[in-house]
Structure 1
Amino acid sequence: MKKFQPQPGFVVQAYRFALDPNAAEEQALRSHCGASRAAYNWAVSWVRASWAQRAAEATYGIGEAELTPWRPWSLPALRKAFNEAKRTDPRFAGWWGENSKEAYSTGLANAAAAFDNYAKSKNGKRKGKRVGAPRRKSKRKARLACRFTTGAIRVEPDGRHVTLPRLGTIRVHERADDLRERIAAGTARILSATVRHERGRWFVSFQTEVKRDLVRVARPDAAVGIDLGVKHLAVMADSAGEIRYEPNPKHLDGSLKLLRLHSRRVSRRQGPDRRTGHKPSKRWEKADRERNKVHHRVANQRADALHKLTTKIRDEYGTVVVEDLNVAGMLKNRRLARQVADAGFGEIRRQLTYKGRRNATHTILANRWYPSSKTCSNCGAVKAKLPLHVRVFDCDACPLVMDRDENAAHNLAALAAASTAGTGVAGDLDAAKASKPRGADRKTRTTRPGRTAGTGRAGGATLPHQRREEARDRTQAEALTLW
């Protein structure tokens, strides 16, 4: 599929609505998602069959030129092969015509993308963890999803129904008047639609091209440093010196008692057993649905709270500084994993990033090795160790005593000032590197800006606190990364 390029002044935005299908419509939705999974499994088996055949022929000493040719995995090649096989393959005979062609195209497109990711990862051209070869999707575990790119895709004039290819008109749980009015005014158009079953409900997501005007934030010249944590979800210090504490709602902790109750009910009933093929009882399925409702409610509460927090921050400040936290590593700590997962650190950073692009504001990412908690926000001295249970920062070089999260937020806010001031401390990094072949980011100075030199030492030697200041400036320059 070709990647869509929005027109000038337009952005690609998704509108998501919950569906209220009846029994027949839900059966059709499941059939389309099952067809997508079947096409994906067929493509994976078709491509990997040539791999197994070549490996078997190589064991008999057959030369490279005489081996079975590699089967291509590009989307056009998969579509051509699938169209030839669907009429004769017994896995599709008799029922493939019941679903839209878009359902099979979804599975084939996902298979092509999976093989591309595997090839790029194997050749070292893909970032992140190593990606293995695509495998078949299990009917029991596969996520139900299907994408439509052509055909009748629209929001009905009443705003309470949507129309999808072959599925017909389905009622939506909430009114879709916002999208309908934008389409009628000519400021939006639908590119594709994706139906998905998650959290016990069916959803439809419309990918649209929407005209969006830039909204000026309340304080475009202000910067804020955000220190994320478990005790307080976010401690924010802005460039004016104001401190704000955002409490951690801890949605999961508030529902743990109810979750334990439902989990005990589930464990006392006859559940599925993969070893013996035993199917779950009706009472087990009912108890499992009740337990999942609690999980879904917690997830919805968390998503709502994070969106409100990040929107409020992005509507006020022109520059936001956040840390590049190693969330995956933090989740390995068995004492903090549940609290870290419930806080959603990675989701906060993701939302701050894309909402900043939407408002044309700046997002600064501090290196994960930048010692924001160990550095004194007053004199710049860096502590050698600061255990997590020590919640108060007590500087050894100056009389500063402050909450450690508040101190870290001040240091993050200082990164934003250093990046824009152009004083040579942490600003104008590109110009400094271009003019110095060895990559030095600043000249060594013996005093802090605004102070007079009076060391009283031969050769202009620097005092210990001045060396600490220079070390802090170099650390800030290395920690600064602009998005």
Structure 2
Amino acid sequence: MLKAYKYRLYPTEQQKDYFANCFGCARFIYNQMLSEKIDHYKETKQMLQNTPAQYKKEFPFLKEVDSLALANAQQNLERAYKNFFRDKSVGFPKFKSKHKSKASYTTNNQGGNIRLEDGKIKLPKIGFVKLKQHRTFEGVIKSCTISMNKSGKYFVSILVKSEEGKMEFTKRKIGIDLGLSDFAITTNDLGEVKKHENPKHLYKAEKRLKKAQRSLSRKQKGGKNRNKARLQVAKKHEKISNQRKDFLHKLTKKITDENQVIVIETLSSKNLMKNRKLAKSIGDAGWHEFVRQLEYKAEQKGRTIIKADRFYPSSQMCSACGHRDGKKPLHIRQWECPHCGEHLDRDINASKNLLALAK
């Protein structure tokens, strides 16, 4: 089983310069190879098979960085091409921007050239870099990805191959309905219903974020004060993102620890985001990330995820008698079933109907 562990790095100024060179060279070789592939195809209607090695003579600065960083950039480009030809909706590979693309590069462990020792990690061509190892792991290091976020913090994501550790089997089943007023409404096979409050991290920080963004917009481009203001905005966005991830990780861990079968609804976040009135709230909730975390944690722990059909009428059926009385406007949160007279809560009723799919 492959699992990634992410740690904070604390490089020296010299190491920061090296990382900047690696980020730039990985981006440069990606763009250079993509450009030549496009030109070659326009002329010959055939795919160009180019490699990073053939550019080192023309661009000597490429020799100063880890060669595996360039090789992984090539693999990323090849993967982007394969994804495009597999599914055109993915989109054609795009050029990487210095200011918009993520600053990162990936290197591989060969002969133990990547290892952890005394609160430091040894990386190819740079040596030991200080890191904060807040948790340990067991297994063989396959590769690591070094990255820098918009607020200037450095991280390393270590990909480790280890033995599968399935959790003890449990008979518990749960149905999960996602919402905005409450983030998730769950019903298990014991009949226990729980509403998990939507923390609304972006909404709560919006006033402070707007103030920081207005301050940034007033600064002169290219000035030091503008860069300081940019960092302040980036740090506020980073805090919101970290708060959201922390909430989602804790909730998905609890759900996957306690339940063997998990039933969730199939939501198309991309389509839902087209609703301008709800787009910001949906993005703030992080439904897509919640489902992604549930899926990979369930796989690691030997749990089963069941996704209801996209058009499954979980909110239209009575969970007591099964009567279906059609769609209802979003403002209707409670009603009585016209067939059996059961008083229904929209979200709880939906979670009970989803749970029924696990039986």
Please confirm whether the aligned pair reaches a TM-score higher than 0.5, indicating the same fold: yes
2:48 aligned residue: 72
Matched, 1:193 2:159: no
Which residue type is aligned with residue 35 of structure 1? Answer: C
Matched, 1:258 2:228: no
> Once the two structures are superposed, what CA deviation does each residue of 1:77-118 show, in whole Å capped at 9, x if it has no partner?
x23xx423421x2xx13x222111112212222222222223
Stretches (4+) displaced over 6 A: none
What is the root-mean-square deviation of aligned Cα atoms in Å? Answer: 1.7
Distance in 2 (CA, whole Å) between partners of 1:71 and 1:336 is 43
Deviation at 1:346, TM superposition (A): 1.2
1:444 aligned residue: none
> Once the two structures are superposed, what CA deviation does each residue of 1:128-171 show, in whole Å capped at 9, x if it has no partner?
x2422x34323232321111114411111x1x110100121111
Q: Which runs of 5+ in 1 are unaligned?
A: 1-10, 56-69, 123-128, 183-187, 272-279, 418-483
Deviation at 1:298, TM superposition (A): 0.6
> Once the two structures are superposed, what CA deviation does each residue of 1:42-89 show, in whole Å capped at 9, x if it has no partner?
21122222223237xxxxxxxxxxxxxx3433xxxx23xx423421x2
2:238 aligned residue: 296
Distance in 2 (CA, whole Å) between partners of 1:226 and 1:130 is 29
- Superposition TM-score, scaled by structure 1 size: 0.71
Larger radius of gyration, structure 1 or 2?
A: 1
1:73-472 aligned at under 5 Å gives the runs: 73=49, 78-79=50-51, 82-87=52-57, 89=58, 92-93=59-60, 95-121=61-87, 129-132=89-92, 134-151=93-110, 152-156=113-117, 158=118, 160-172=119-131, 174-175=132-133, 178-179=136-137, 182=138, 188-200=139-151, 201-216=153-168, 220-271=170-221, 280-417=222-359
Secondary structure (helix, strand or coil) at the match of 2:172 reads: strand
Distance in 1 (CA, whole Å) between partners of 2:121 and 2:213 is 37
Distance in 2 (CA, whole Å) between partners of 1:28 and 1:102 is 14
Distance in 2 (CA, whole Å) between partners of 1:164 and 1:382 is 61
CA change 1:140–1:319 in 2 (3 A) is same
Distance in 2 (CA, whole Å) between partners of 1:378 and 1:19 is 54
Alpha carbons 2:109, 2:141 under 8 Å: kept: no
Alpha carbons 2:83, 2:90 under 8 Å: kept: no
Q: Which has the higher contact order (CA 8 A, sep 6+)?
A: 2
**More moved, 247-256 vs 136-145:** 136-145
- Superposition TM-score, scaled by structure 2 size: 0.94
CA change 1:334–1:135 in 2 (3 A) is closer
Distance in 2 (CA, whole Å) between partners of 1:269 and 1:209 is 48
Secondary structure (helix, strand or coil) at the match of 2:4 reads: strand
Count of aligned positions? 356
Distance in 2 (CA, whole Å) between partners of 1:342 and 1:177 is 28
Secondary structure (helix, strand or coil) at the match of 2:260 reads: strand
Deviation at 1:371, TM superposition (A): 0.8
CA change 1:241–1:121 in 2 (3 A) is closer
Distance in 2 (CA, whole Å) between partners of 1:257 and 1:177 is 35
Deviation at 1:198, TM superposition (A): 2.0
Amino-acid identity (%): 33
Distance in 2 (CA, whole Å) between partners of 1:325 and 1:359 is 24
CA change 1:150–1:240 in 2 (3 A) is closer
Which residue type is aligned with residue 114 of structure 1? Answer: A
